[in-house]
Structure formats: C-alpha cells, structure tokens
A and B are shown apart, each in its own frame.
Chain A
Amino acid sequence: MDLRAGDSWGMLACLCTVLWHLPAVPALNRTGDLGPGPSIQKTYDLTRYLEHQLRSLAGTYLNYLGPPFNEPDFNPPRLGAETLPRATVDLEVWRSLNDKLRLTQNYEAYSHLLCYLRGLNRQAATAELRRSLAHFCTSLQGLLGSIAGVMAALGYPLPQPLPGTEPTWTPGPAHSDFLQKMDDFWLLKELQTWLWRSAKDFNRLKKKMQPPAAAVTLHLGAHGF
C-alpha cells in the first residue's frame, strides 16, 4: 500500500473509492462469484503437492544420475544451465514486485521448466522413471493452468511467448554428458526453489485476497491513483 500519512487528499480519495467499491466487496456482494480466492487456494495447494511430489522424484532421478549428483552436500557452481529460469531473487527485489509481475514470472518460469522437464523425460532410461516424470509433468501442466486461471481471475494478461524464444530441448553435440547431467541437476534444483518460492507467492496472494475484503478493495483502489 502506498498510502502516506498526512495525505489528506489521498485519504479522501481512498474513502471515496471504498464507498464506490463497496458493492464489489465480496462480503457484501453475496450474489456474485467468489473471486480469485478459491483458485488461489487451489493453486497454493497444488504447489505444495508438487513440492512433495518433486521431493521423491528428485531423489529417484539423482540416484539415477549417480554420484556426485545424488550426494546431499554436492553444491556445484552453476555453470551452464543458463537458460533455466532462476528462482533465486534478492528479497528486496522480490518484495518490490507486484502481484502481476510475480504471477507472470511464475508462469514464465514454469512454462520453461515444463519444457525442459519433458526433455528430461524423453531421455530417461527406465520405464518407471519415465512414468514418474510424465506424472510430474502433467501435474506441472496443471499448475501452469492454475496460475493462468488466477491471472485471468485477477484480470492480468498471460505473457505471450516471443516467437523464436520458445525453449527447446536440444541436447547438442557440444554438450558433454557431464554438463547434461549438471543441467538435469540444476533443473531439479531450480524447480524445487521455484515451487518453494511459488508457495510463498501464493500464500501471500491468498492472504491478500482474503478478508478484510475492504483492504483488498482499498489496495486496488489505491492503484488507481
């Protein structure tokens, strides 16, 4: 909220906006739909479920890669894997992001990660691993749809992928197998961090969208100024 104390005009405007939006307040407007709240909750739940699912999948896959990738203290510098969207972001920067940006980043990240993950699935050697990966991909696709739903509910446009920038899985000849394994390692690691971050994002959003509903309206109204 970017309201400042002493800004009487702002306060007045806010008051007017509150009154103006009063019919739109969910608590008062009982006839309308429930707003983005339930879909955010669903997205949050799905994120947590994916976090759980990834934990077992990553264990299996890293064992499949073998040491050092399955060693708990293996923490290599991030070389290569530049195309993977990074989940780590400075806390201040993250706080400064608005909901739209956050959701957009999430959506874009999972679009990319999903694509890489499908590549991972293609080259997995064991049928069981392929099944697990396919299942996870389906869940991740669901998450992507869920985020898109939340964005639509909040009135944000979906990010359009630029032509030609569509990430593709190209295991080029220059890519050594070790680097390939590193990429897989980082893919799973980033996925883990992204899910952790998304859970925080959706939790934050959920709290924001929940009553006191007036605050939500106030917030939306304040953006109008």
Chain B
Amino acid sequence: METRPKVWLKDFLPEDFRRGSHRFGLWIGTTSAPVRYTAQPSSVTRLPSGPAGWPGRPWPGQQQRCAGRRASAAEFSVSAFPSQASTTSPSHRRPPARKVRVARSRLPQDPVRLPRGTEGRRIPVGPRSAKSAKQDGKLQKTSPLCPPPRFSRNSRPSALAPQLIHSPGPGRLGTSAPPSTPAPAPAPAPHTPRRTRPGSRSPSPAAKAELMALFEVFQTTFFLTLLSLRTYQSEVLAERVPLTPVSLKVSTNSARQSLHLQWTVQNLPYHQELKMVFQIQISRIETSNVIWVGNYSTTVKWNQVLHWSWESELPLECATHFVRIKSVVDDARFPEPNFWSNWSSWEEVSVQDSLGQDILFVFPKDKLVEEGANVTICYISRNIQNNVSCYWEGKQIYGEQLDPHVSVFHLSSVPFIRKTGADMYCEVSQGNVSTSIKGIVLFVSKVLEEPKDFSCETRDFKTLHCTWDPGVDTALGWSKQPSQSYTLFESFSGEKKLCTHQNWCNWQITQDSQETYNFTLIAENYLRKRSVNILFNLTHQVYPMNPFSVNFENVNATNAIMTWKVYSVKNNFTYLCQIEVYCEGKMKQQYNVSIKMNGEYFLSDLEPFTEYMARVRCAGASHFWKWSQWSGQNFTTLEAAPSEAPDVWRNVNSEPGSHIVTLFWKPLSKLHANGKILFYNVVVENLDKPSKSELHSVPAPAKSTKLTLDRHSYEIWVTANNSVGASPASIIVISADPENQEVEEERIADTEGRFSLSWKPQPGDVVGYVVDWCDHPQYTLCDLQWKNVGPNATSTVISTDAFRPGVRYNFRIYGLSTKRIACLLEKKTGYSQELAPSDNPHMLVDKLTSHSFTLSWKYYSTESQPGFIQGYHVYLKSKARQCHPRFERAVLTDGSECCKYKIDNPEEKALIVDNLKPKSVYEIFVTPFTSAGEGPNATFTKVTTPDEHSSMLIYILLPMSFCVLLIMIGCYLKSQWIKETCYPDIPDPYKSSILSLIKFKEKPHLTIMNVSDCIPDAIEVVSKPEGTKIQFRKSLTETELTKPNYLYLLPTEKNHSGPVPFICFENLTYNQATSDSGSCGHVPVPMKPPPSQLGLMISPENVKKALGKNYMNSLGEISAGGTNLNYVSQLASPMSGDKDSLPTNPVEPSNCSEYKRQMAVPLCLASPPLTENSSLSSITLLNPGEHYR
C-alpha cells in the first residue's frame, strides 16, 4: 500500500544543535592542529588538511577561544583560492568509483518534518518539486559541461533545501578516516591526480603514529607561539586548503525513484557561512555515460551536512547509477577568481543485486502519476534466453534494450483509463506456456482542476457559506488516492478549516469587527495543489433571510397596506426590498423599497373585489449580492358598486292589445361588476300616462326577463346590483306602435364563418345601431345575441364561435333613436358556410301517358335546408341514347350516363317530361342544389310509359264486359227458364202419377222395382268397340275375367268360403234419398259382415292389398273396353223405399220382374253422397281416390 509520497524534512532539534556545536568545538580543536605546522609556511600547502586523523580529545578550556579564532581565520580562508585553483586537478579526471551498497531497506516514505520556521509546510513531490528545489536550492543545470544525458528528460534534482539538517554523525566523520580531498598545493602534476579510494586516503598507520607522537611533544611548547601567530597562520592556511565536498553518501528511494545525496564540506571556517555552488554529475550504467549535470547553490555553514536529491525518470532498479560532486565558493565577499574543487569519487548506486531470485522483475512497482505524464517502465530478466513479452492494457508493447537483461518502455502522455489503474505486465513464456508473470498497476489520476465559481456569502453575519464547483473527482480505487481535499484559509485571521464536503464549506464568523475577508480555497490531492482566492467585504456578500410576517392592513376596494419583516442581522443594515403584485398569475405592479427592519408599502390602484398575490424579497441595499427567496401572501380587495350599466336588449312580440317584451342583458364583466352581482332591477315606467313605476327584481344568474305591457310607450330601466350598490341604468323604450316587421330579408354571402353586414344609414338622429341574431336558430331557446354599433357605422362584422356550417342565421338591424326607441331597419339572412342539401324532395309522378308524365315535389321546403336552394337537377335515364331536348348528358358519380335537366328556380317544383316513347321504362331522380353542391345520391324512380293501343283496348273491353254482365243478369233472371230448357228435372217415379193410378186400381202386389231388391245373377255388358269407361264394381274374389261377357255375381258353393261379396248398383240419376236407400240396402244374406271382416276391410292397407293388382287389372281391362255406359238396367223394387226402415227391415229378395231403361249420365256428376246407412264396406270400397286415378 503506497503512502502519500510526501517528503518532510527531519526535525531539527535544538538538542542536536547543541550536541553538534559541542562537537564543532572538538573539531575546532583538531582542525587547528595543522596550524602548528604553519611554523613552516612553505610547507603548509603540502600538509594534508584533513584533521580527521586526529581524534583529539576535547579541550574544554580552549573550545570557546578556538571558536572565536576559527571564525576569524575563516575570513581569510578564501583568499588563497586563486592560487589553489591553479593547482586543482581538472574536473575531467575521473577517480575510481567507490561502490555504495545500498541496503534494500525502504527509505522512510513518511513525511519528514521540516526544520523550525518552515515546519508544517509540505513540499509535494511531483511536478512542483523540481521547481521548488530550484527556487530553494538555486539549482542550475549546467548542461554544457556534460554530454546530453540519455534519460535526462524527467530526471530532476529535488534538493531538500535549504539544507539545514544537522547531521548527528560528525563524530563518525571525526573518528573515521576523513575523505580527504587531494591537497591542492602538494598536488602532483595534473596527470597524477590524488586517489580518492577511501582505503588509500588515510596516511599509513606508522606515519600517523609518528605524527601523533610529534604532536604530543611539541604541543605545549608551541601553543603560545601558535596563539601569537594565529592570524597570519590562518590566512596562509586558508589560502592553501580548498573547500571540498567530502563524505558523499548516496541512498535511494525506490518508490520515488530518487537518489538522495548527503555530504559535508571540508575545511569550512568555523561559524562562517559561505555561499557555495556544488556541481553534481550523474551517470548511468557506466561512469562515462553522464546523464545529468547540475549545479546546486546554497549557503553552507561550518560542519553542515548537505542534502540533495535527484529524481530519476528511469526506475533505479533498472540501471546502476553513479554520482560525484565538486564545489566552488560563490560568495560576494570573496571576489573572483574562484576555483572548483576536485571531483569527489564516483559513488555507485545499484539496487539490482538486492532484488531476489525471481527470473523476472518489472519496475517501478505500482506508480501514481497524473494524466498526461510520461512514465518509464523496465523489466529485468535474469536469463537472457527467456522470451519476455510485455503488454500494456492488453496490447503487446516493445521496448528498447538497456542492456541484455533490461528493457525499457516509455509511455508518454498516459491517459486516465479507470480508477483501478492500468496494468502493464510482462510474462516469460516457454513455448506457449507462460512460466512467470510480473506486472505493475499504473494509477493515472485526473488532473486536479482549479475550483470554479468560488464565492462566500452570509445570511446572518454569523456563518459564511462558501460554495464552489469542484470539477472532476480525482479519486482512485484501491485507496490509491482519495478524492481531493478542500481547505479554506483566511489570511487576515490566519485560520484554516478542512472542508468536509466537496463543494461547500461553512465558516464561523467569530470576530464581529472583521469586515474584510481574504479566503483561499486550496484543493489538494497527492499529486497537485490548486487554490483560488477571493477578497470581499462581509456586508457585500449578504444573502438575506427570507422576509416574514407578510400581512395586509386597511384593505379596501382599491388599495391596501402591505407590511413585512426582515431578520435583523446587523445594526443599521439597510435592505432593498422588491414587491410584486400579481393578479390572476400576471404581474400587475412592481415596487422597490428600502427598509431597515420592518417593511411597509401602500399598494394603490387595485381593482375592487379582486384577489391579489403580493410577494416581497430583499437584498442588501448598500451592495447588491443576491435576492432572498420570495415571501408572499394573498389578499382580496373589497367590493364596490358596479361601474357600468348592463348591456340590455329586448325582443318584442306584439299581440293583440299588448306587447310581450323579453329583456335580455349581458352579465357585467368582472372588471365592471366590482363584486358579486346579486340581482338586477328592472323598472318599467309608462310614458303615455302618468302612473307608478313598476319594479321587477330579478335574481342574479338570470340573464333575461319577460314583461307583458299594454299598448303604451314604456321606458325600461335595468340596473345590476351587488352588495355595495347599483350600477348605472340601461334605458330602453318600447314604442306603443307594433314593430314594423315588413322589411325585406336580404341574403348575405358567407365569408368563412363571419358575416359582414351593412345597412343604409337611418335618416334622423340615431344614437346607435343594434344587430341581433340567434346563436342557435334551430332551437326554441335560440340564445338571442346582439351587438351594439356606433351611430356612424353602417356596417359591422359578426363573428362568433357559435356559428355552425349549414345553419341559417337571421340578422335584424335596428336603429336606436335618441328616445331609445329601436326601429327595425333591415333583415339579413345567411349561412356561415353553405352545405349541400341533406335530403331530396319526395317526387310524385302523375299525368302519365305514353309520351309524357309530370313530376312534382311541391312539398319540398327550401327554407329549412343547409344552404340556399338554387334550383334542382332532374336526372333521367332511358334506353335511348339520345337525350331529350332541354336535357343534357351527364355522368353520375357511379359512372353511369344519364340526361340532366337543370331547374334554376327553387320555387319551380314541377316538371313535365315529354317526348317519351310509349311502353318504355324511364328512371328519374330529382335533387336540389345549393352553392355547395347537390343533395345526396338516391335511387331512381322507375316510370313505365303505357302502350299506345291500350286505350283502344279499353274501349273494346268495357262494352264487352258490359254485355257479359247483361247476359249474366239475364241468365239470372231467366234461370228457371233456362233450367227448364237446358236441364229439366228428372221425374221421380214415386211421385209419378202412375202410382196413384196403380193404387187406384188396387193392385197391391204391384210395386216399383228397386234395383237393390233383386239380385241379378248376371249382367250382360255390351262392349263397344270405341271403349267406354265403365264404372264397374265387382266382387273382390273375382280375379279372373275369363268370361268377359258375364259376371257371376251370385255366390256359388265353391267360392263362398271368404267374405260374402256384394255389389251395389246405383242409379245416380235418382233422387238422392231414394238412391241412398237403395244403394246399400240390397245386401245378400248374411247381411252384416262379421266384425273381423269389417276390421279387415276398414284398413286401407288391407283394402289396397286386397284390391291390388287384381282390381286394377280388372279395371284396366274393363276401362279399355269403353268409355261410356250405354245403359244400365234398373230393377224396380217392389217396395216403396223408406230409408229408415231399410237396414232394419230388409225386404225379401224377390224376383226381378221389371227393367227400366234409364238415361245415361256422365260419371263425374255421379258423386253419391254417403250416408250413415250406407254399408261400411261399401264406403271403403267406394273410395273414389282408389278407384279413379
């Protein structure tokens, strides 16, 4: 987990300082030692200047004195520099590098405290650090002195300046062999520079012991001499000893990729401050490859440990670095010429050895940079045989090889990708298998923006509320970087506050006296710091609290007093308040007023009985900063009497002896009503005879009233009343004369929903004109409307939304005389928009002849149509291709052709269609038309012209039918005659006169033979060749007609096993009663068939079965024989027929004695009525349907 890469300088404790100064004292003692050698001035320059070899004990008694002397000696020390410069080894000489093993232990990344005085100030690392280093340490690059460094782009020194860090370790320097720089004076020839290897720097132990012994012996002896000659000697010494940087130590900070240098300056005069310039060279990989040279200027104190750091753009693990340093005095007190000291030995910095045993490394470890930064990444592969491929954000990248093991990748202008960082990784693969993978996460932070719109304001003079727009959030994931922090700093009070919110902060005002504030808002993240500043007067930044207690006093119909309060924040603080008065959402009035604490304003020019909303807001009057929020309240003004007379109109219906006057008025507008209208007063005064006025009070919502007045002139006053009073009166006079309705109605053309009316001006004095009309003329309550027009106008335009297309509107124009009497001038009628007729007339066809007919539609109303009927179109379709004269050819909407006749007069509602062809079909259709078009399509009516000769037929048919009728009447009248003539009655033998004769002759045995009385044993049928149909009934048992000439009707022995067949012969020409009695009465014994037989025969199926084929066959054969019965023999019954007694008293069969020839009759007329007396079997058998098919 990375910590904030802030660097703090170490604490500079007074205790250390004291301890240090104590050691200085020691130093002074030892450093003064060489002075003893100054007895031989000529040899001074040859003597080594390093006192370190003298770990001399402290001399308590001499410390202070020596210090004073040392200081004075320093004053002269630089004067010897010019001579020294000539002997200094040139800078190009490269002493062998001293390898510095850097422990892999991390340098503390924690902030290092600054020395007192600058304590608390943070120096961030990053883009600013180089700048600050330059400023503080007066670092200057001296590029001309060195070859162009390979990686100098981002390399930057960051001197921890001013380097006042007192090192606690001079003791070590004192006790160990001093890193003696080559002595300038005894320096050999330039081509043999003094070595810088630490091991060879110190004199040999034997020589050292010798010197020590010598020193001990002469110490006391020469002490006084030393004191007396100190000044001179010091001067000489200073001339000889160069100020050389010694004890150069280099440490690394991998996280910051920085080299940290610390050194001391040897031979510095005691308690003397010197301005010096140090030149530092940094090489990479090998010493000859100088990548950076720079100067670092600072003031150096005696025995001070100097610190300086340099940041490498290449991770330090990627390559070995070498550092060396030299110095020169650059102090105004010591004029030119200055000379450079010798270079220190190269210090080698290599971190690679301490990496570990992995086969692959990627550096730097996770890094935090700002968007747009350039980043250099390297990998170190232990085995050069390995195939290493590297990827940046998933894409393979290729680097440049620094050495066989190391490759470097330059990422320029890295963008912000994501909060969790962008990954760069390398993998070692053997074949397709990746054996090792190493990577780094590059955290790219967005660039911290300067806070925008920074402002502070106060509402109560107790708290300042500062706001700003923070811009982008630079927070990164994995706690790499939190969101930027904001700090508020006030310079006058020196107070500071860390803000907890990202876009606002509250600042407590503690001092009432402070009026001016100078705020600095500092936005800060790990990489950058930005600040904005505002300076303001507190009273200029007042955002007032909202006004309160808004009230209205003395509210009447047109004015009110508005009061409000504001919070008192400061004495004599004046507010500027703004008042707005709204009515129905619209601003009516606006005022500005200056107040102290309590506001009051007189609102005038208000409308009565109106709801207003008034609101107020305030701001500082002396300096406008910001309005407060609005505070508002509603109020309603009081009522006033209506200000205007109601607009009144009337409609007069004259009735015998009276006028029915309907008064209409329009409700007063809100503006004129001035309150709620409660009622309308109508005062009627007779003008013709003095009488009492009548007062009618009509409650408010009503808009009309009806008055019945007699035939006098009346003056009518109408006023609208509210709770306060009455309006001015509207006056209308009703004339005694009935209204002149005999005014011709004029049609007006429609003009898109508007009616333009014009009239002739009324002669005489006219106070104005009134146009009235009904909005809904089609309804009973037609909603009368009127419009007042000035006396000079002779035209107006009526336009309302109520007008509908297809509705006829009638306008009446009245002139108002000076006596307020209305006189009808003109009538207009029109449509706002004409439509086509909605229906067609009902058509009547009459006077139809073979050549013409007449059409008429006289009941069609032209008034109630949605347009002015202009005429009619008559369409005629016929088979003839040619149209009749007057008709023109037209094509209908369905595409069929026909002939059209146009009638232009809407009142002409009949048409004679002539020139027609007889016995032809004509289709005809009549439709009206308006300016908008014809009526709807409808079906044609068919008219067929009659035949030309049909009249003649009538002339024939009528007489004929008359004749027939006459004949029929004649027939009816002469029916008896006809009957007698055509079909006389057949005489009844029983009623014949012969009977009486017989009775008269008393021959009782004589009787009329009934045919049923005898049983014929054979009938001879005479066949006729033409075949006469014979109604023949025969026995069912008789199936064969082997003997066609004879039918054996009597039962024989052998065929008497079945039911007894019988046969009836009927003489149908007989009287019914007679024949009935005789038809079935002649039943042979046994007379009654057994029930079983009856049942059998009743069933029609059985009968059918039984009859079946045999019967049909026989019938067929018989019928084939002939169609007419020639004759039927008739047996006369000896007994007189009493039908009632016949079944019960069957007469004995007797021998047939007589035959009577009868007239033959057609079969169809012989439908014998069946009676109950008839034999059942006979009934069944005689089913005519079965017999005659």
Contact = CB atoms under 8 A, between A and B. Distances in A.
20 contacts: A66-B417, A66-B418, A67-B423, A68-B423, A68-B425, A69-B423, A75-B434, A77-B433, A77-B434, A79-B436, A123-B479, A125-B419, A176-B441, A177-B421, A177-B441, A177-B478, A178-B423, A178-B425, A178-B438, A181-B441
A67 B394 contact: yes
Contacts of B437: 76-77, 79, 182
A65 interface: yes
Contacts of B393: 66-67
A173 interface: yes
A66 to B, nearest CB: 5
B1 A66 contact: no
Contacts of B423: 65-69, 178, 181
Nearest to A173: B1
A71 B391 CA distance: 12
A79 to B, nearest CB: 6
Contacts of A75: 434
B434 A76 contact: yes
Given A67-B394, A178-B362, A180-B478, 12 more contacts: A67-B393, A69-B423, A77-B433, A77-B437, A125-B419, A173-B1, A176-B441, A177-B366, A177-B441, A178-B438, A181-B420, A182-B437
B439 interface: yes
Interface of B: 1, 362, 365-366, 391, 393-394, 417-423, 425, 427, 433-441, 443, 477-480
Contacts of A68: 391, 394, 423, 425
A171 interface: yes
Nearest to B421: A177
A171 B427 contact: no
A123 B393 CA distance: 22
Contacts, number: 67
Contact of A176 (B365, B391, B419): B365
Contacts of A176: 365-366, 440-441
A203 to B, nearest CB: 32
A94 interface: no
Given A67-B393, A68-B425, A177-B478, A125 B440 contact: no
Interface in A69-89: 69, 71, 75-77, 79
Contacts of A65: 420, 423
Interface residues of A, number: 22
Interface in A22-78: 64-69, 71, 75-77
Nearest to B476: A125
A182 B425 CA distance: 11
Nearest to A125: B477
A204 B435 CA distance: 35
Contacts of A171: 1
B767 to A, nearest CB: 83
A76 B427 contact: yes
B233 to A, nearest CB: 57
B373 to A, nearest CB: 17
A66 B436 contact: no
A66 B421 contact: yes
Contacts of B418: 64, 66
A194 to B, nearest CB: 23
Contacts of A180: 478
A65 B425 CA distance: 14
Nearest to B1: A173
Interface centre among B393, B417, B477 (most CB of A within 10 A): B477
Contacts of A178: 362, 366, 423, 425, 438-441
A68 B393 CA distance: 7
Interface centre among B366, B417, B437 (most CB of A within 10 A): B437
Nearest to B393: A67
A63 B496 CA distance: 41
A24 B441 CA distance: 61
* Shortest beta-carbon contacts, A-B, top 6: A67-B394, A125-B477, A177-B441, A178-B439, A177-B366, A76-B437
Given A77-B436, A123-B479, A178-B439, A66 B420 contact: yes
Contacts of B434: 75-77
B904 to A, nearest CB: 86
A123 B479 CA distance: 8
Contacts of A182: 437, 439
A125 B475 CA distance: 10
Nearest to B429: A77
A130 to B, nearest CB: 12
